[in-house]
Amino acid sequence: ILFAFRIDIGLRNSGVIRSPEPKGKGALIRRYATCAPRPSRGKAQPKTHAVAIYHFSAQIIGRSAGRSSVAASAYRAGVSLTDERTGQVHDFTRKRGVDFSAVLAPLDSPAWALDRATLWNRVEQTEKRKDAQVCREFNIALPVELTHDQKIEVTREWVGREMVAKGMVVQFDAHDLASHNPHVHLMATMRRIEGDGFGQKAREWNDKAQLEAWRLSWEEYANDALKRAGRAERIDHRTLE
């Protein structure tokens, strides 16, 4: 599956890449983290796999909460963007910690889809309701055990297969890669690209089954990347309940 992407801040040059074959089915997205149990003194412990941190949350960005996709895009990427609908300038150029920033889109998308300013202003212009839902955002913890390149690559592979292949345009911003909390913010359109604009909203992306698939799929991709990197740690999508 081919997709196009543009990198504004990044570890690699832009181009077109092929994403891997589809993987697994899923489980519901929630906020949580799991880690390996701490051993008790004086007691033999059963053999366990090391467990890396798992965090995967999702939210809708909507006007009813006073938010806009243009403002969110500027903040996540650490850039300055003007919301053409309101005339407001959102300047976050002083923001630190943005280590990688890119936009990914289906291969046959118009050129404007890869420009974050035009993309999100088009999204805002398309939505007419004062309480419109304008985009979906994901916050995903990246395995600290991977190199920076490996963190970016596994995320880009997953986004390409699980989102862009479905017709979404996705802004991809990786933060704090050298810290104890490397993570990525994904902003995904709620409409597919059709011709030179957007089509109807894809309601199936709101289904519980789709959320379930994304949650487990990320576990599988991340664990595969850890295995290929020669690491013993694994993430686990299940809650501790």
With a cut of 90, say whether residue 239 has pLDDT above it. Answer: no
Mean residue pLDDT of the chain comes to 81
Q: Rounded mean pLDDT of 51-73?
A: 88
- For residues 140 and 56, give the distance between their C-alpha atoms in angstroms, rounded to a whole number: 5
When pLDDT is cut at 50, 70 and 90, the band that residue 149 belongs to is very high
DSSP-H helix ranges across the chain = 69-77, 116-126, 148-162, 208-228
Q: What's the pLDDT score for residue 15? A: 33
pLDDT at 48: 44
Quick one: average pLDDT of 34-61? 57
Instruction: Tell me what the mean pLDDT of segment 32-51 comes to.
Output: 38
Query: Could you tell me which of 207, 135, 202 has the C-alpha nearest to residue 170?
Result: 135
Has residue 231 got a pLDDT over 50? yes
Q: Rounded CA gap, 133 and 62, in Å?
A: 4
Position 4: which residue type? A
Please tell me the distance from the alpha carbon of residue 57 to that of residue 137, in angstroms, as a whole number: 8
* Phi, psi angle pair for 226, to nearest 5°: -65, -40
Indicate if the alpha-carbon torsion angle 103, 159, 78, 60 is positive or negative.
Answer: positive
Taking the C-alpha atoms of residue 24 and residue 202, their distance in angstroms, rounded to an integer, is 22
pTM, two decimals, is: 0.79
CA torsion, ordered 74, 135, 216, 10, to nearest 10 deg:
-30
- The per-residue pLDDT for 43 is 46
Integer Cα distance of 58 and 207 in angstroms: 13
Assess contact for 193 and 122: CB atoms under 8 A: no
Q: What is the pLDDT of residue 5?
A: 59
pLDDT for position 190: 94
C-alpha of 31 from chain center: 15
Distances (CA, A) of 82 to 1, 31, 91, 133: 33, 32, 8, 19
CB 219 within 8 A of CB 38: no
pLDDT at 157: 94
